[in-house]
Amino acid sequence: MKLVLPTGGTPDEETYYQEQAKIFNEKNPDIDLQVHFIASAQYGNSVSLMFASDDAPDIIRMNGSIPTKMTISYEKGWIRPLDEFVTEEFKNRFPPNFFSPGGRLYIDGKLYGIPFNDNRETTFRPLYVNLDILQQFGYSAPPKTWSELKEMSARITREGGGKVYGMSSTSSPYLDVINLYETNNGRYLDGHLTEGNFIYDTQTGKSAASNPQLVETVKFVQSIVADKTFMPGWESVDLTKLYQQFAAGQVAMFIGQNWVAPEINRLNPNINMMLAPMPVPDSGRKGYKAIYGVSEPFYGITSKSKYPEAAWKAIEFFSTPEFHEGWYNVVQLPTVFFDQYKFEKPDERRDQIARQILDGASVDLRVAPYPTQKNPDAEKLLSGIMANAPKPSLNELINMAIIGNKDFEALAKDYDKKMETVIDQQIEKLRKEGIDISRDVLIAPDDWNPAENYIK
């Protein structure tokens, strides 16, 4: 029997999966597991076409915000429950609370997804720091507050003589704003895990692009720009070029995604790099960056699979510490089984970076409630809101404010007015379709404390 798993990743990752598929097939001679690698940009469209044909996959990837994320795959009827396959023994392989009934692996009380990536790792956005540069300018540790970040980076740029810069923006300044803002997040959440496209107030269920925390963050980044701190060309810097400059010792600090760390390490294995937690406002932390569930779904079995039992065997094979450690050796990012690795191929620098990611995440992240925990149809509302969001987008408004030095608060208030109309329209649309939904799905449960993990 043939099983098909479409997935994506680096060339090294593809080689690893193909090698492991061969091992699986040798252990299960009645199964022919075929792993099809698809470029990330084409993944959603390619999988959709597979479902539209007679060649639907058996196993599907559902992590992050990809077009096949679990809630969307559920809406489209692409996936089937896994409860009949998942035993308590299987659950006990994973860290505590990973299979909490109210978590993101479940929809309407049924289990649909199995974890792979560590949810802390995928969500953590570190402050990359070249400690040698900091020490060169008299600093012994990374900045912990916004004023320290501003003072340190401005001084390094000023005294660096055009050879060293204290800080650079990433591929777009709105990412710096969103990452600084979200790490100090209190009552405002991003409704779609898309780096700040739809921010709502969890006490009222209303659009909150103009919330005080975000306005304050935009003004802070505007002040860094006014000081001419960023490396020249920051307005449209290429991310690949940025981490090459960082690896070469031209930039002291930048805010980035954690997957960049292995790339920097490959470029310069001797760099004295630290992945530090995000600095917080001088007034103190108001909250934490939200992750929606202790674990996130990665693998699922499709409703079109003719051989669900065989598909489950493959998922079980992918869900062992041994498989995960092999993947980690290639990709160099920790998975859910990081604490169970035997480290048979030790690499002190690689393992140090992985530990910094997880330690930093424990400082900056907390599990927050997600609307689908209240109502499985909440994803339809969120998808409708995002598809009809006002233009320019919130991200574009942030860039306009930073690059053009415009009044972000005024732009955001106008955006909120337009977004409120969109929310009302989408609620009405779903109600006409017979779906019982309201803004209540955007209002956090009374027992949610933003300073603690919400695990139900």
CA–CA distance, 224 with 347 (Å, rounded to integer): 37
Q: Provide the residue type at 377 as one letter.
A: D
Give the closest residue to 229 by CA, choosing from 151, 336, 333: 151
How do strand 127-130 and strand 273-276 relate by DSSP bridges?
antiparallel
Residue 163's φ and ψ, nearest 5 degrees, are -100, -30
Distance of alpha carbon 98 from alpha carbon 112, whole angstroms? 13
3-state SS, residue 243: helix
Q: Please write down the HEC assignment for all residues of 169-197.
A: CCCCHHHHHHHHHHCCCCCEEECCCCCCC
Q: What whole-number distance in Å separates Cα of residue 115 and Cα of residue 435?
A: 30
Nearest residue to 255 (alpha-carbon basis) of 223, 278, 237, 236: 278
CA dist 357 and 117 (Å) reads 13
Q: Which residues contact 299 (CB under 8 A, 6 or more apart)?
A: 59, 60, 61, 62, 113, 114, 116, 315, 318, 319
Two structure tokens written together for 160? 């660096």
In a 13 Å sphere around the CA of 335, the CA atoms on its Cβ side amount to 27
Domains of the chain listed by start with CATH number = 2-119+295-361 (3.40.190.10)
Give the largest Cα separation in the chain, rounded. 67
Q: Please name which of 342, 365, 367 lies closest in space to residue 454, comparing C-alpha atoms.
A: 367
Tokens 């997880």 sit on residue: 358
Would you say the C-alpha torsion 227, 232, 238, 243 has a positive or negative sign? negative
pLDDT digits (tens, 9 = 90+) for 154-177: 999 999 999 999 999 987 888 899
Tokens representing 162 are 């055009």
* Rounded Cα distance, 167 and 142, in Å: 12
Could you say which residues of the chain have pLDDT below 50?
195
The rounded distance, in Å, linking the Cα atoms of 393 and 412 is 10
Phi, psi (rounded to 5 degrees) for 251? -130, 130
Tell me the β-bridge partners of 408.
none
Phi, psi (degrees; rounded to nearest 5) at 92: -70, -10
pLDDT of residue 383: 84
pLDDT at 195: 46
Q: Among 22, 271, 270, 309, which residue's Cα sits nearest to residue 129? A: 271
Tell me what pLDDT residue 325 has. 97
Cβ-contact 264, 349 below 8 angstroms: no
Distance of CA 188 to the CA centre of its chain: 17
Contact 414, 221 (CB under 8 A): no
Q: Strand 188-190 vs strand 59-61: parallel, antiparallel, or unpaired?
A: unpaired
| Tally of residues, the chain | 456
List the Cα angle 128/200/216 in 5-degree steps.
50
